[in-house]
A and B are shown apart, each in its own frame.
Chain A
Amino acid sequence: MNDLKDINIEKSLELLKTKKISSKELVEFYLTEAESKKNLNAYISLNLDNAINLAKESDKRISSNKMRALEGIPIAVKDLFCTQNFLTTAASGMLQNFIPTYESTVTQKLWDAGAILIGKTNLDEFAMGSSNETSFFGSVINPLSINNKKYVPGGSSGGSAAAVAANIALAATGTDTGGSIRQPASYCGIVGLKPTYGRCSRWGIIAFASSLDQAGPMTKTVKDAAILLDIMAGYDNKDSTSANLDDINFSKSFDKIKKLKVGIPKQYKSDKLSPEIVKLWEDGIDYFKKKNCTVIDIDLPHTDYALATYYIISSAEASSNLARYDGVRYGKRQSSNDITTLYEQTRSQGFGNEVKRRIMIGTYVLSAGYYDAYYLKAQKVRSKIIDDFNQAFEKVDVIFTPTAPSDAFEQGTKIDDPIQMYLNDVFTVPASLAGLPAISVPIGLSQNGLPLGFQIIGKRFDENSVLAAGKIIEDCANFGEKK
């Protein structure tokens, strides 16, 4: 019996190809493991009806040498991607019964490559949150929690991160709007990649903030992230913000990148940063130097304003994107004799508090009299933040920073203080605002014994450099041993 526990995609493909394991074994293993670790609440639903049949079909294809790029590989999907005929909830009461009649572009690409849906993972409601404590289906527990306490896995892709870290998923898809792939990857000790804005199609992904949302892989290794990105990426003519570029084979090309120039932004350093993060940062810098990279100090002057800019823009877009949830064509309706009451009751009962808060902030910053001071101002500051990065990237190829200001925290300790919660995203939002690719790679453990990840940001469409730098950290940090 193969030890499937710590296996990854790359290894699985090898074993499948050489027929040392079958897809059926893999799928059964993950379904069983998922059931056994239900307490983590990482999954909202499991594909119990279909996954094994699909696995058998994959095995047939493998035996007749018709193996596609991800043939037989089980993948967990964040429950924000619409999956055809399969419950898709966005972790919201509003969509608790919603069954899409269509498949998102990104997940269709995975199935076309032979991958198999294991289940839909839990998340913060409508992707708004950084702790996975706002889900209609209950909070997710970080599998690396210590001392019998319940720590958060981060968010919003908390379920995906927890599933991969707990080995109840081989890999998962997530979405990242302000850090929702990277920050949970950091808290759970896995790899999480947010591609360049426009790299992956947004069609069929339930929208939170249209100018920020991006789908990306959450995996055990950097190589796995590249393998998944190869399949997930690509132009989609149904998405007007999709980039029409030549296909790149990331998994084959990223490790050819050498001698990177790595920038360290001084505005990310602060005396509030914990000594353990400062130490790990220095370790990372040493790793780069060891691998023939140059490390340079750079300036990102408007860093301090990124978080406020992000909250204005993302809330504004969300308030408009969530207006369609009115109980008329789908969603959990609260009936009434009056249309206004129907709207208000449906939305008040269907949305949780964080979602309501953000919709109201969004409505406020767009409203007459406040638009210029908030929304328009934020768009201008966003422009300056983009300029900061453009200037920095004239000097360096990648930028290296902590992913989050701390390790995972206990459930319930920040949920009542929205601003404290928002501060979790301070290092991740700038790259989101600028639409840049960024990865989080685990680098070590905190004093508490919880994972810490570090972030590498790259130039637009230069995922290769980001992956290459990530690999350096991965190789040198040897996080697997530390766990």
Chain B
Amino acid sequence: MDKNDNNWEPVIGLEIHAQIISNSKLFSGASTNFGSEPNTQVSLVDAAMPGMLPVINKVCVEQAIKTGLSLNAQINKRSVFDRKNYFYPDLPQGYQISQYTQPIVGKGSIEIDLKNGNSKKIGITRLHLEQDAGKSIHDLDPNKTYIDLNRSGVALMEIVSEPDIRSAEEAQEYVKKLRSILRYIQTCDGNMEEGSLRCDVNISVKKKNEDFGTRCEIKNVNSIKSIGQAIEHEFHRQVEIIESGDKVQQETRLFDEKKGETRPMRTKEEAHDYRYFPDPDLPPLEISTNLIGEIKKNLPELPDVKKKKLIDGYGLSSYESSILISDKNNVDFFEAVINENNQRKPKVVVNWIIGDLFSLLKKNNLDIKKSPVKPSDLGELIDLIENSTISGKLAKTVFDEMFYNRKKPKKIIKQKGLIQITDSGEIENVITKVLSQNVDKVNEYKSGKEKLYGYFIGQIMQETKGKANPKLVNEILKKKLAK
């Protein structure tokens, strides 16, 4: 956004729908697994058969409380479920069970970090529990829509921000931060591509010190990038309208990813009268102080706090820490390696994790939780490098072997005879041999062709099958070449 936008600024509020991590759905015992055959994860309740009734899932309630606490928010000990009534083919009941006037979580806030180094507090208005709808598939037939209710009834947390956001960057940072918190405390996997985290943007424009303008809601914003694009486009669109003397119409618009712009929804939005009323099938939800206390006690350190500890306590860079805290399992892995042997250098450990380990995990589509290399295995390998049993370079081959064949490092090194050569005498002999076989090149080197140094190293390593200790090789080679 231009600073010279005539003093116009956007006023942005975000509504995030986050699918809760749980085994079964909010009000039914069907599975929440992603990607199953259509209508196989549907109970009679999810299909809204006649006479069916909802029963609430304990874990979903706890996940909402956990999230509320992590957003510094007030947990409402009494909350009520309301019905939001409207017709849509993937909404089997003809209403969504949600929370309207008395949500489970009240006001909170999160801090975001901006490029200019500043931090900003973004308020959270509320968080409530609600059912997800099923899926409508429009492109399997030109004249028909196909309905799959697998997703119908999955628990969602709707998180509403205060309209505190004033730029596309702030909006993106807010979503990134929120996503990292949810992933860290494991209440939502934050996967925007798969739809487990969805974002609606509410945006209006005003000049500084003026009142809020008319806002538009933008739907179908499916990635961090789209959030930025949608806001930029909509901001300029609204400013243009006002500057040309017109009024901004309150409407719901769709973000078109291909064109990078927003357009009004094709169906004329009937003024939605959702006729909210308390669901008579569900008594109010009462949460005890004990339960809140228990959950608070077991809450992991939040990503921000953890990140600071990683930087201050272990000397990691901000970049390295950010990568670790993107998933609590990364941090757990890292800390397991460090805590097992506190001689291990944090920098070395983190580089192995975010370098070699992540690379192989990604290639094989694995989560760090399912890593075939366990923290203690990696730790062992690092120790072996540290005490020069093996060179750093060869360690990489060992690591591959550890990953694919699940063998312990010591075993692999023994089996493959990879133990580093650290005997100076032995190394000197090899160097002498190599140099004597390459007298011409030695002379060329001595007359200034310094590049040949690498050639000698290569030859020495070939002779020793990579096992020579690089430090010693350098020391001795340099000495010999200096003569």
Complex: chain A residue closest to B83, CB-CB: A320
CB < 8 Å neighbour of A339 from B53, B54, B89:
B89
A363 vs B275: C-alpha distance when bound (angstroms): 8
Selected contact of B85 from candidates A88, A239, A343, A366, CB within 8 Å:
A366
B51 within 8 Å of A (CB atoms): yes
The smallest C-beta distance from A95 to any residue of chain B, in angstroms, reads 7
Measured CB to CB, the nearest residue on chain B to A212 is: B280
Q: Is A357 an interface residue (CB 8 A)?
A: no
CA separation between A367 and B94, bound complex, in Å? 15
- Taking CB atoms and an 8 Å cut-off, the chain B residues in 49-72 that contact chain A are 49-56
> Closest Cβ of chain B: how far from A445's Cβ, in Å?
38
Q: Does A413 contact B (CB under 8 A)?
A: no
Option from B44, B50, B87, B93 in Cβ contact (under 8 Å) with A98:
B50
Q: Which residues of A contact B51 (CB under 8 A)?
A: 82, 100, 104, 202-207
**8 A Cβ contacts from A158-214 to B:** 202-207, 209-211
Closest to A104 in B: B51
* Whole-angstrom CA separation of A203 from B44 in the bound complex: 11
Given the contacts A102-B44, A240-B56, A367-B273, A328 and B50 also touching, CB distance less than 8 Å: no
Contact flag A329-B47 (CB < 8 Å), given A239-B53, A240-B53: yes
Contacts of A305 in B (CB 8 A): none
A29 within 8 A of B: no
Q: On chain B, which size bracket covers the interface?
A: 20 to 34
Chain B, 17-67, CB within 8 A of any chain A CB? 44, 47-56
Query: B54 — which chain A residues lie within 8 A by C-beta?
Result: 240
Q: How far is the CA of A288 from the CA of B273 in the complex (A)?
A: 53
Complex formed: what's the CA distance from A319 to B280 in Å? 13
Say whether A254 faces chain B, with CB atoms less than 8 Å apart: no
Q: Given the complex, which residues of A lie within 8 Å of B47, measured CB to CB?
A: 329
Q: Is A294 an interface residue (CB 8 A)?
A: no
Are B280 and A343 in contact (CB-based, < 8 A)? Answer: no
- CA separation between A238 and B49, bound complex, in Å? 14
**Most chain A beta carbons < 10 A, residue from B52, B85, B93:** B52
> How close is B255's CB to chain A, nearest CB, in angstroms?
24
In the complex where A240-B282, A343-B87 touch, is A324 in contact with B277 (Cβ < 8 A)? no
Interface status of B143 (Cβ within 8 A of chain A): yes
From B53, B276, B277, give the contact of A238 (CB < 8 A): B53
In the bound complex, how far is the Cα of B50 from the Cα of A90, in angstroms? 10
Contact B94 A326 (CB under 8 A): yes
Task: Write the A290-327 contact mask toward B (1 if CB under 8 angstroms, else 0).
Answer: 00000000000000000000000000110110111010
Q: What 1/0 flags go to B336-371 for Cβ under 8 Å of A?
A: 000000000000000000000000000000000000
Chain A residues near B192 (CB, 8 Å)? none
> How many residues on chain A are close to B (CB under 8 Å)?
43
Known: A203-B52, A207-B51, A339-B89. A366 touches B280 (CB 8 A): no
Q: Give the A-B contact count at a CB cut-off of 8 A.
A: 95
- Chain A positions within 8 Å of B277 at CB level: 316, 320, 366, 371, 375
Q: Which residues, 238 to 280 on B, are CB-close (under 8 Å) to A?
A: 273, 275-277, 280
**Which of B273, B275, B283 counts the most A-chain CB atoms under 10 A from its CB?**
B275
List A contacts of B143 (CB < 8 A).
337
> By the criterion CB–CB under 8 Å, are A328 and B147 in contact?
yes
Residues of A within 8 A of B93 (CB): 323-324
Residues of B within 8 A of A102 (CB): 44, 49
Q: Does B106 contact A (CB under 8 A)?
A: no
Q: How near does chain A come to B445, taking the closest CB pair, in angstroms?
A: 81
User: Would you give the 0/1 interface string for A84-121, flagging 1 where the beta carbon is closer than 8 Å to chain B?
Assistant: 00001010000100101110100000000000000000
Q: Does B372 contact A (CB under 8 A)?
A: no
In the complex, the answer to whether B85 meets A210 with C-beta atoms within 8 Å is no
Given that A238-B53, A238-B55, A328-B89 are contacting pairs, would A368 and B273 also be in contact in the complex, using a CB cutoff of 8 Å?
yes
> Does chain A have a CB within 8 A of B95?
yes
Considering the chains assembled together, what is the distance between the CA atoms of A153 and B87 in angstroms?
Answer: 36
B281 within 8 A of A: yes
Are B92 and A328 in touch, CB under 8 angstroms?
yes
> Min CB distance, A383 to chain B, in Å?
13
Q: Which of B50, B55, B92, B95 contacts A240 (CB 8 A)?
A: B55
CA gap between A329 and B281 in the complex, in Å:
22
In A348-404, the 8 Å CB interface with B consists of 363, 366-368, 371, 375
How far, in angstroms, from A316 to B51 measured CA to CA in the complex? 17
Q: Is the CB of A323 within 8 A of B55?
A: no
- Binary per-residue interface labels of chain B (284-314) against chain A in the complex, 1 for a CB within 8 Å, 0 otherwise: 0000000000000000000000000000000
Find out whether the CB atom of B94 lies under 8 angstroms from the CB atom of A240: no
Q: Is A241 an interface residue (CB 8 A)?
A: yes
Q: How far is the CB of A286 from chain B (nearest CB, A)?
A: 41
Chain A residues with CB under 8 Å of B273's CB are 367-368
Taking A323-B87, A366-B275 as contacts, is the C-beta distance between A241 and B49 under 8 angstroms? no
Q: Known contacts being A241-B283, A316-B277, A366-B277, is A330 close to B95, with CB within 8 Å?
A: no
Is residue A420 within 8 Å, beta carbon to beta carbon, of the partner chain? Answer: no
Is the beta-carbon distance between A95 and B85 smaller than 8 angstroms?
no
Indicate whether A478 reaches chain B with its CB closer than 8 angstroms: no
Q: Which residues of A contact B282 (CB under 8 A)?
A: 240-241
Chain A: which residue is nearest B44 at the CB level?
Answer: A102
Question: What residues on B are CB-neighbors of A329 within 8 Å?
Answer: 47-49, 92
A237 within 8 A of B: yes
Which A-chain residue is minimally distant from B52 (CB atoms)? A203
Return A317 CB to nearest CB of chain B, in Å: 6
Whether B48 and A320, one on each chain, are in contact in the complex, defined by CB atoms closer than 8 angstroms, is no
| Contact partners of A375 in chain B: CB under 8 A | 277
Q: Give 14 new A-B contacts, CB below 8 A, not counting A82-B51, A102-B49.
A: A102-B44, A204-B51, A210-B281, A238-B53, A238-B55, A320-B277, A323-B87, A323-B94, A324-B50, A328-B89, A329-B48, A329-B49, A339-B89, A366-B276
Instruction: Write 26 A-B pairs (CB below 8 A) sorted by A numbering.
Output: A82-B50, A95-B50, A102-B44, A202-B53, A204-B52, A206-B51, A211-B280, A237-B55, A240-B54, A240-B55, A240-B56, A241-B281, A241-B282, A317-B280, A319-B275, A320-B83, A320-B85, A320-B275, A323-B85, A324-B48, A324-B92, A328-B89, A328-B92, A329-B48, A330-B49, A337-B143
